[in-house]
Structure 1
Amino acid sequence: MGPTRTRDLAAAATVTAIAGYLLVHVAYRWFPPIDVWTGVSLLGVAAAVGGWAFYVRARIRDGQIGVGQGRLHPLAVARSVVIAKASAWMGSVVFGWWLAVVVYLLPRRATLRVAAEDTPGAVVAGLCALALVVAAMWLQHCCRSPEDQSENADAATG
């Protein structure tokens, strides 16, 4: 399993944004109101993932990986990578959705009162989804062992 590539996440967000825009264009009139709190739950998940990333990074730097009291188990690091990958993919898809909603709403703010009211909530939700992607990519980076980082540096110079 390799690291998640940014271009793959961008492609997922783009495809979701295109499909989402078409769906929003057809079904926006049936949407519930979008308030500022709509996407804030993603920010909570991003904060948890980011906090865990700093914890894992500190433990790996201190050499506290292995089995024993006060050490981070290697399976916990492997599970963290899985959570990071899943969070990055989910965040990119959700970001694509909210990007589609924002692109739909922005030109209609002057003519539709509801669009003007929904825009701030959609923007906040999109930013929270983007924060989740960034936190997940940071966690994935923090889960790398020091040996992995030195091998990549040798490969880049050789």
Structure 2
Amino acid sequence: MKTTRVLDLLGLTVVAAIATWLLVRSFYGSLPPISVLAGASLYPIAVGELILGFVVRSRIGGSRVGDGPQQLHPITAARALALAKASALVGAGVTGVWIGFLLYVAPLASTVRAASDDVGGAIVGLVAGLALVGSALWLEQCCRAPKDGSGESR
């Protein structure tokens, strides 16, 4: 399986940002307020993938891949890799959504009270999206097979 390309993630982020900016520009008046907790739901997922990355890395690095206890089953490693790839895409899309939202709301923050209230929640969501992308790329890196059994990643 090929590694996730950062250029693909950036492209997704840009498309999501433009689409969100256009939608928010048209419908901002009918949107509910954005609380600080709105984007925070991705933080536990990012932390979970970060921890999973350390576990996978230690097991692969210690040649503990197999079917027994205290070993990483190869199917589990493949599932972790699929999770990492999907999470990177979701994180890039969410990051783009919050960037698009901020591009519309931030200039209005000095004159519109609702916009100034929404900026905090959008920033929390933006950082959560970036955290998810970072932890997903870390998990993907940790799932790489070592070269020639030496314990080092390719």
Secondary structure of the structure 1 residue equivalent to 2:66: coil
Do residues 80 (structure 1) and 80 (structure 2) align?
yes
Deviation at 1:123, TM superposition (A): 0.5
Deviation at 1:66, TM superposition (A): 1.1
Secondary structure of the structure 2 residue equivalent to 1:147: coil
Q: Deviations over 1:82-107 (max 9, x none)?
A: 00000000110011000001111111
Secondary structure of the structure 2 residue equivalent to 1:70: coil
TM-score normalized with structure 1 length: 0.92
Give, in whole Å, the separation in 1 of the partners of 2:128 and 2:33: 18
Q: Which residue of 1 aligns with 2:93?
A: 93
Deviation at 1:150, TM superposition (A): 6.2
Runs of 5+ unmatched residues, structure 1:
153-158
Contact 2:61 2:152 in 1 (8 A): no
Deviation at 1:19, TM superposition (A): 0.8
TM-score normalized with structure 2 length: 0.95
Secondary structure of the structure 1 residue equivalent to 2:41: helix
Give, in whole Å, the separation in 1 of the partners of 2:152 and 2:52: 23
Deviates further, 59-68 or 133-142: 59-68
Which structure 2 residues correspond to residues 66-145 of structure 1 after superposition, within 5 A? 66-145=66-145
- Identical aligned residues as a percent: 41
Q: Cα gap change, 1:151/1:119 in structure 2, threshold over 3 Å: closer, same or farther?
A: closer
Q: Deviations over 1:61-100 (max 9, x none)?
A: 1110111121110110000000000000011001100000
Give, in whole Å, the separation in 1 of the partners of 2:147 and 2:78: 15
Higher helix share: 1
CA-atom RMSD in angstroms: 1.4
Q: Which residue of 2 aligns with 1:6?
A: 6
Deviates further, 130-139 or 60-69: 60-69
Deviates further, 131-140 or 59-68: 59-68
Paired positions, count: 152
Q: Which residue of 2 aligns with 1:42?
A: 42
